[in-house]
Structures are given as structure tokens and as C-alpha cells.
Structure 1
Amino acid sequence: MAFAASLADLQEQATCPICLDYLRDPVTIGCGHNFCHPCIQQCWEELQDFFPCPICLHHCLDRNFRRNTQLCHMTDIVKRLPIMRSKRKLKEEKLLCEKHHQVLALFCEKDLELLCLQCRISPNHLGHHLMSIEQAATSHRRKLKSYIEPLRKKFEEAQRRFEIQVSKLLELKFKVENQKSELYSEFEHFLNFLEKEQGAIHNRILNEEKGIVEKLTENRRQISDYSSTLNNLLSKITEKCVQADLDLLTGIGSIHNMYENLKTPKVFSYELKRESFSLPPQYFGLVNMISLFKENLTLDPKTAHHNLIISEDRKTVIYGVMAPNYPHPPEAFTFCPA
């Protein structure tokens, strides 16, 4: 085991840090690090004033490459040693920089990008905080995991708001139907007197209902889209957290932006107008007669049939079809006598 480790270390020393292949025509720069002559030449190709080392960023004053003859002979010897896994194969397995075609080994925290050693010394990233792939992946995995619980809570809250809006739509329909029913009962006694008024009030109620329904429907759509966005982002983050480091960091910026730019849609509230109109004196006598026989009832939701939907104040009820998996109390009536 110790021999294998020593052999791996020896092969590592004979490897170029830029191309991750065995050193070709090795040269030593001012700070003492060794590179392939073509690799360091390409790395410094666009630089003029100073030439930083791709590893330690030591500023070399010129392109003074010293050919390392001894290291060249040592590399030839290492090439003949048995190896379990070649550096060339390792290089092929790693992602390469699209601009410089070198192995991606660093991560820029400011730009949220994967970088190669040549990107590190480019003017675009000078002064930026750079981290190794492993450190960056650990940091961002921790940050992504911190998103999961807030996203889950937001998703649950969005679902709750969606259900509230559905309930408000049913409540609105019930209130409108209730008002229509009351109006029709009154118009039956005063049809001749209220014929024109009936049509006008009815149209106003329907127009108001239409306007509120459109706004509630749009609000429900917004909340539904918001729920879908949260669920999609939650799935992406959950998937990202179990990916390999490079896959996790690839495109990480878009996920951060999605999370930080989430905007919770406002819940639309409405107040249904109460229509009023003038009636002849006979009407007030009718109202007094109705109030004489009126009783204040409180409905029992525990014994109500599962197709009867009772309001929150337990004063009104409408007929509707509940979901199949909706829990029914054991005291509820389960038959419909006719």
C-alpha cells in the first residue's frame, strides 16, 4: 500500500498542473513551479506587463523559462513505470474549460463560475475570491439545503392560499345565489311595480359577480403558478443536493437567482355590494310578517350529509359534491330521503 502511494506521488510530481498529462519539455519559472513549455507559453500568451504563476500567482518579471533537463529525464523514467490509472484518462474524465480547454479546478464565488488555472490569472477574475471545487461544492450544498425548508413552507402556504381562494369562489357563488333567491321572492309579490328594477339590479349583481370571479380566477391562477414554481424549484434544489460537485455547481447561479427573486402573489379580497331599492309601504308589512316567524338557527356540520357544504358561521348551506377522500364524521347522515 505504501509503495503504491509513493508511486502515485512520483507520478504526480511528473505531471503538468495545467494539462494534467506527463510533462513535455518541462520548464521551471521564477517561483520554482514546473510546467510543460507549450502549456505555460499558452497560459501567458496574452499577458504583457507581468506573468503570474497559475498555481501560486507569484509575479514573474519576464518569460524566462529555464529548461529542466533532470525533470525531463525523470518524466521519461516515470512513464515506463506501471500505473493503475493514467493521467490522460483522468484528464478525459474531467470537465474542460470551453475557452482554454484546460481542466476546471476552481470556482469563482463572485461570478459563480467554474474556472481553469488560466482563467484564474485572466483580468476578468483578478481580485475575486476563488475556491477549490470541493470547498465550493460543500459551501453551496449547505446553502442549497438551507433553501429547502423555507421553500417547503412557502409551497405549503401557497397551497393553503389556493384552497382559500377556491373556498371564496364557492362562497361568492352561494352569496350571489342567496341574493338572487331573496330578490326573486320579493319580486313575486311586487312584479308589476319592480319589473324594471329587477332587471337592472340583477344585471348589476351578475356584472359584479363576473368581475369578482375574473379577479379571483386570475388570483387563483397566479397562486397556482407560484405553487408550481416553488415545487419546481424545490425539486431542482433537492436534485442538485445529491449531484456530484461539478454537476451541482454547473448552472448554480440560475437557482440562486430563482430563489432570491421569488415574489409571493397577493391574495385578492372582495366585498360584495348590497343592492337596495325603494318599495311601496305594503312591503314593510310583509317584512314584519316574515320577521315574526323567523328563527335563528345554527347548523351542525358534524351531522350534515357529505354533499351539504355549511358556511363558517354555520348559518347557511349549499349543495355540492365533496372530494372522495374528504373525511366524514361518523354522526353525519348518509342517506337522502325523498
Structure 2
Amino acid sequence: MAFAAALAMLQAEARCPICLDYLRDPVTTECGHNFCSSCIHQRWEGLQGTFPCPVCFHHCPDRSLKRNTQLCHMTEIAKQIPGMRGKGKRQKEPLCKKHREGLALFCEKDLELLCAQCRVSSNHGDHPLMPMEEAAATHRRKLKSYIESLSEQIKDTENRSEMQVSKCFELRQRIKHQKDELHSEVKQLKHFLENVQNAMLIRLLTEKTYIEKKIMEETNQISNQSSILTSLLADIISKNLQTDVDLLTGIGSIHNRYNNLETPATCLYELKEESCSLAPHYLGLHKMIHTFQVDLTLDPETAHPSLIISRDRKSVTYRTSFGLHNLQARNSYPAVLSSEGFDAGRHFWQVEVRGTGAWSLGVCKESFPRNAPMLPTPRNGCWQIQFWANTCVTCHSGNRQCIGIFLDYELGEVSFYNLRNISHIYSFSGSFTEKLVPYFCLGPSSKSFVMRIVKDEW
């Protein structure tokens, strides 16, 4: 039996791990494994750079392989050994544990070896049965197809691993780019921005650490998947080199492992964009306007009786003469509010004014009593500044007055800008706790006074 087993092992060693047939024109790779010359070159077809060994996945530097003349002679000798494999099988033929008869059939449903008596058993009577040799040939073909699929999956996991490394590098580059931008922004106001800069860098580094940790976790999952695939591939290759009986024994485990393979999910991570959170007039008026400008409309329901709202709800005009009998209306301020209000964020709007006399702009609380004879001050919930036009402004765009108002709700700041000479006029600072609404007020004038909300004037 030992002699027969040794001859069987000799015949197995004389077979190609790729085609599973006797070696034809055998060649040896750098790692010491032997293949048919045509099989290994076909497996490496289309590859460039490195060429993995199908058995151990060692990367061979090139396609140049050494022809193994001695192995070629040994293969020819192994072919000429008559019937030793068959004798070995007869000597080692396992018996059915239940009926003590030779195993000659294979149940395709339960993936089990059966004897002739098992065929009529109630457990397998209606199951598809095949002769052992035919079943072994069928499953050997299936295992061979698994080998190619697993090789592709291993290649895919290697590519995905490289992509993870690339993502990590890209992340570092983007972090570096954002850090450079932040340093550029704070250069002019270094003393004021020092605390802000440190806080933002900490957030960036925290985000970097978090995402890198996630990427490493996914890389480890992919590495584990690669190990599982490699182990399964090695088991299948080993299974294919076994006798029919050994191949079919426990074949279900191989199928289950292959069919239950799962590919680790890859999550996409978006780096949060950081930007300077200072009061926007530090970042430049032009950038502030284009970033935070909003489109407002006037609310006719909030307009004082002396004010006329245009059809497009963008302009308000003060009418100089009308009958006003309501004492409350006579004593209240001629103001109107915007239809839009804000309880968070940053917002910028522009107002163009023509006429003579007093007028004011700002924001007020939604609950501010507009019709009461109350002075609009921050204490009363109205943050506004008053302007005065001494001469009538013509319709020429160069002589108009244009004021920009910026609200930073979280910072608690309302700022006013002269958009004609690009200058900062004044800023209110406080703490906002309820919705704020843009506030527009026109006073009596000798000529028609028009205030208009404009947009994209810059």
C-alpha cells in the first residue's frame, strides 16, 4: 500500500496545477513551481510588469522561464506506470458506513457518496444520482472554474487596496491644500485670527484622523477578504489534485465557502470643507456679497399707510400728501418689513435710495411693534441706522446711494456698508434669540422718495 501510494503521489506531482493534466513541456517559475509551458503563458497573457505564480502568487519579474528537462523525463515515466492509481483506489476503496458496501454513486442534491443499496433508501430515492467517476469529473470542472473566478477576485482586492492607499494620499493632499489656504487667509490678520486658526486646524486634523481610521479599517477588511480568497483558492487547487473519493468527500464545504463569499463594502468619504468663520468684512466685501446675497421682497401687509409698495414688491415710495386720520398711524414710523426673515446663518442684501430727507435701514425682531410710537432701538428689538440725503439724488446711477446690510445671526452682528465707495459704515453687536426681519423706513421729504431692493449690483 505504501508503494502504491508513493506511485500515486509521483503521478500527482507530474501534473500541471493549471490544466490538472500531465505536464507538457514543463517549465519552472522563479518560486520553484512547475507548469505546462502553454498553460503558464496563457495564464499570463495580457499581464505587464509582474506575473503572479498561480500556486503561491509570488510575483515573477518577467516571462522568461527555465525549461525543466529532468521533470519532462520524469513525467514520461509517470505516464507509463500502468494502473497503479486504479489499484491504489481499489485497495483504499472506502465502504458505506451504513451498508458496508463500496461507494460507487454520488448524490447531487446532498453532495454525498453512496453505495448501491443507498440508492433505494428513502433519503435519496428521488435525488439525482451520478456514477462516482462522472460526478468527480463534473465537480472537477466546477472547481476549475472557481480557480479563475477567485484569481480575478484576488486581483480586484489588490486593486482596491491600492485605491485605498491612493485615497489616503489624496486625503493628505487635500488637507495640506486647505491648510495652505487657511494660512494665506490669516496672514493679514494674524493676531486676530490666531485662536480661530488653531481651532480650525484641530478640526481638520480630527477629520483627517477619523477618515484615515475608517480607511484603515476598510483596508484591513479587504486584506482579510484577500486572505480568505487565497485560502479558498489553495484548498480548491489541493482538492482538484485528490482522488475522486477524496475530492467528493466534503465537497459541500468547498461549494458553500465559494457561494457564501461576500465582498466588503467600500464607503465613500467626503472631506468637510472648512472656511474661515470670521465676520465676513474681514474676508473682503466682494466675496461676502457673492457668497451670502439673498433676494428679498417687501411685505405689503406690514407697510405703513404712507408708503406705496410697487407691484414687484421690490420698491417702496413715500407719498407726501394724503389724508391721515388715524392718530396711531400719524405717530408711528413709516416703515415696511421684508417677507423673508432669518433665524440662523449669514445674509446680505443691498438697498438703493433716491430722494431727500431721512431714511433708515436695518433689522428688527419679528415681534417688534411697528405701529406703536416707539423709538426703534436695539433695546426695543430693532437694529437700524438713520441716513439723511440733503439734495435730491438724480436717476443717474453714479449719484444714487446704495447701502449693503449684512446679518450674521450666530455672531450676533449687523453691519452696514457704503457700496459706492466700498467702505464699512457701522456694526451692531448683540445676541439674537428670535427671528429677525429686514426693516426699511422712509421719512417725509419734499420730493418723491424711493427705496429699492437691488441684487447683483457688484
TM-score by length of 2: 0.40
C-alpha distance after superposition, 1:178-212 (max 9, x if no partner):
32344345445433212332232122212221221
Equivalent pair of 1:109/1:128 in contact (CA under 8 Å): yes
The answer for the alignment partner of 1:213 in structure 2 is 212
Q: Judging changes above 3 Å, is the alpha-carbon distance between structure 1 residues 90 and 237 closer, same or farther for their aligned structure 2 residues? A: closer
Q: How does 1:74-223 map to 2 (within 5 A)?
A: 93-223=92-222
Equivalent pair of 1:96/1:104 in contact (CA under 8 Å): yes
Structure 1 spans left out of the alignment, 5+ residues? 1-84, 288-338
State the alpha-carbon separation in 2 of the partners of residues 158 and 226 from structure 1: 8
The alignment covers a number of residue pairs equal to: 200
Q: Judging changes above 3 Å, is the alpha-carbon distance between structure 1 residues 100 and 210 closer, same or farther for their aligned structure 2 residues? A: farther
User: Amino acid of the residue matched to residue 174 of structure 1?
Assistant: Q
The answer for the alignment partner of 1:225 in structure 2 is 224
State the alpha-carbon separation in 1 of the partners of residues 89 and 177 from structure 2: 75
Q: Judging changes above 3 Å, is the alpha-carbon distance between structure 1 residues 229 and 274 closer, same or farther for their aligned structure 2 residues? A: same
Equivalent pair of 1:91/1:103 in contact (CA under 8 Å): no
The answer for the alignment partner of 1:261 in structure 2 is 260
SS for the counterpart of 1:107 is strand
Q: Judging changes above 3 Å, is the alpha-carbon distance between structure 1 residues 202 and 232 closer, same or farther for their aligned structure 2 residues? A: same
C-alpha distance after superposition, 1:105-146 (max 9, x if no partner):
211100001112332222211111111110100111111112
Give RMSD over aligned pairs: 2.7
Q: Which has the higher helix share?
A: 1
Structure 2 spans left out of the alignment, 5+ residues? 1-83, 288-458
Q: Judging changes above 3 Å, is the alpha-carbon distance between structure 1 residues 90 and 198 closer, same or farther for their aligned structure 2 residues? A: closer
User: Amino acid of the residue matched to residue 177 of structure 2?
Assistant: N
State the alpha-carbon separation in 2 of the partners of residues 103 and 189 from structure 1: 91
SS for the counterpart of 1:274 is coil
User: Amino acid of the residue matched to residue 136 of structure 1?
Assistant: A
Using the TM superposition, give the Cα deviation of residue 165 of structure 1 relative to its aligned residue in structure 2, in angstroms.
0.5
C-alpha distance after superposition, 1:214-264 (max 9, x if no partner):
221111112111222222222222222222111111111111112112222
The answer for the alignment partner of 2:323 in structure 1 is none
Q: Judging changes above 3 Å, is the alpha-carbon distance between structure 1 residues 142 and 91 closer, same or farther for their aligned structure 2 residues? A: closer
Using the TM superposition, give the Cα deviation of residue 155 of structure 1 relative to its aligned residue in structure 2, in angstroms.
1.4
SS for the counterpart of 1:123 is coil
Using the TM superposition, give the Cα deviation of residue 99 of structure 1 relative to its aligned residue in structure 2, in angstroms.
3.5
The percentage of counterpart residues that share the same residue type is: 50
User: Amino acid of the residue matched to residue 175 of structure 1?
Assistant: R
**Match status 1:240 vs 2:236:** no
State the alpha-carbon separation in 2 of the partners of residues 283 and 245 from structure 1: 78
State the alpha-carbon separation in 2 of the partners of residues 230 and 160 from structure 1: 14
**Mean Cα deviation higher: 236-245 or 99-108:** 99-108
State the alpha-carbon separation in 1 of the partners of residues 242 and 122 from structure 2: 31
State the alpha-carbon separation in 2 of the partners of residues 279 and 163 from structure 1: 43
SS for the counterpart of 2:114 is strand
SS for the counterpart of 2:123 is helix
**Mean Cα deviation higher: 121-130 or 172-181:** 172-181
The answer for the alignment partner of 2:33 in structure 1 is none
State the alpha-carbon separation in 2 of the partners of residues 234 and 109 from structure 1: 22
The answer for the alignment partner of 2:17 in structure 1 is none
User: Amino acid of the residue matched to residue 226 of structure 1?
Assistant: Q
Which ranges of 4 or more aligned residues in structure 1 deviate by more than 4 Å? 89-92, 279-285
Q: Judging changes above 3 Å, is the alpha-carbon distance between structure 1 residues 90 and 171 closer, same or farther for their aligned structure 2 residues? A: closer
The answer for the alignment partner of 1:46 in structure 2 is none
Q: Judging changes above 3 Å, is the alpha-carbon distance between structure 1 residues 131 and 190 closer, same or farther for their aligned structure 2 residues? A: same
State the alpha-carbon separation in 2 of the partners of residues 105 and 231 from structure 1: 32
SS for the counterpart of 1:105 is strand
